[in-house]
Amino acid sequence: MTQTTSRPSDTKLSQFRVKGEIPVPMLIGWLTLAAVPILLFFAWRSLDRGMPGSAIALIVFAVLLSVNGIVYLLGRNSTLQRRGFITAITILFTYLAINAVEDGSAIIWLFAYPPIIFYISEAKVGVLACSAGLTGVALLFSPLGDLVFDSPYSTSFRLTMLAVLGFEMSTCYVLDQSRRRSKLGLLKLAAEFEYAAKHDALTGLANRREAHEQLETEYQRYLRNSRGFSVLLMDIDLFKSVNDNHGHQVGDETIVMVARTLQEHSRKVDTLARWGGEEYLVLLPETNTVEAVKTANRIRQTIASTPIEVQDGNINTTISVGVATIHGAESVDRLLQRADEALYRAKTLGRNKVCDFETTHG
């Protein structure tokens, strides 16, 4: 059961945003602030031109967008905000096209729809919305649309509008896909850097810095809840002779074998770290000394019975382990010092042993 931090999947990465990218709720808020006064302005123009029905409709849309923004500010539900905004502007643009507001010129606001819809929603939603929109405009401009709505648009305008709108939607889709791929690539790169900063390249275990952070986190939890924890500090016995006699490649294989054994005999909640060189540290949350010693012995025995293949046969590796359990209000440094003393004791007793500090100094 590996305790190393896994690399985020593409699905998880897509939920994050790149630094400098405008958050969707903020963008919708800005668009709402811009749209409401524009709608009210054209509502006033409609009233001035003797078209109260158009004025009332535009005021209603301004109110709906405003209410959607207020609801978001109160509840901070970004999904509801996005869906409400998409619904409102879809109906609004449909109304502008069908009713030929501003002598039919208001239909050009449809060109604002594709970039907005692709940015604030998933790609498939953008494709479906734009496809439906283009189909709707084509129907509006068709002979059937003339029978139902009596649209004032000329043939040349209709052809140009459909061609340009279709081109814009296609372009927005291509650019949106490129943006999403670039974002995912940047997030993957950031995740790789973060992973490398916290993990040992050879074994995949946490590195010393990450182990210190996990120790501090567990220590703070211990201070709050009084739930003890133990640490295992272990060292490969006579590792220098392995390198000297068999080469660094065999030495690396030995280090990886020990790391793999740690993963096989530990829990998901445990933190496994390459402490440095041939040293390892295992953090065991909510584990007393007796349980920690049992875990250490299982690991030790497995390693001792796992041969490493070399040119002229196999060699066996052993480890020595020091065990210490947190006591009272002692610091993390003191805990590690006690584990190190227990490890030293295991070495002096002949190696391939597990010593706990309490027994050693009892």
Q: Quick one: 20 and 45 in the same domain?
A: yes
Task: Say which CATH number the domain at 351 has.
Answer: 3.30.70.270
Q: What is the pLDDT of residues 138-184, one digit of tens each?
A: 999 999 888 888 888 899 999 999 999 999 999 999 999 999 898 88
At residue 104, the pLDDT reads 85
Burial class (CB in 10 A: 0-12, 13-18, 19+), 167: exposed
Range of the domain at 37: 10-194
The answer to pTM > 0.85 is no
Least-confidence region, from 153-157, 242-246, 357-361? 357-361
- Residue 22 pLDDT level (bands cut at 50, 70, 90): confident
Q: Quick one: 168 and 93 in the same domain?
A: yes
Q: Is the pLDDT of residue 282 over 60?
A: yes
Q: Is 226 helix (H, G, I), strand (E, B) or coil?
A: coil
Q: What is the pLDDT of residues 99-146, one digit of tens each?
A: 888 888 889 999 999 999 999 999 999 999 999 999 999 999 999 888
- Residue 5 pLDDT level (bands cut at 50, 70, 90): very low
Q: Quick one: 246 and 182 in the same domain?
A: no
* Final residue in a domain of this structure, among 171, 194, 217: 194
* Residue 141 resides in a domain: yes
Q: Quick one: 240 and 213 in the same domain?
A: yes
At residue 20, the pLDDT reads 62
Q: Quick one: 177 and 266 in the same domain?
A: no
Q: Is the pLDDT of residue 351 over 70?
A: yes
Q: Report how far apart, in Å, the C-alpha atoms of 297 and of each of 33, 246, 300, 353 are.
A: 66, 27, 5, 8
Residues 169, 173, 177, CA angle at the centre, nearest 5°? 170
Q: Quick one: 296 and 334 in the same domain?
A: yes
Q: What is the pLDDT of residues 77-91, one digit of tens each?
A: 999 999 999 999 999
Instruction: Evaluate whether 265 touches 258 at the Cβ level (below 8 Å).
Output: no
Q: Which residue has the tokens 């001792």?
A: 304
Q: Quick one: 190 and 212 in the same domain?
A: no
Q: Quick one: 342 and 233 in the same domain?
A: yes
Q: Quick one: 223 and 161 in the same domain?
A: no
Q: Quick one: 253 and 176 in the same domain?
A: no
* Residue 2 resides in a domain: no
Q: Which residue has the tokens 């002096």?
A: 348
Q: Is 278 marked active-site?
A: yes
Residue in 21, 278, 279, 330 annotated catalytic: 278
- Number of domains the chain contains: 2
Of residues 338 and 4, more confidently modeled: 338
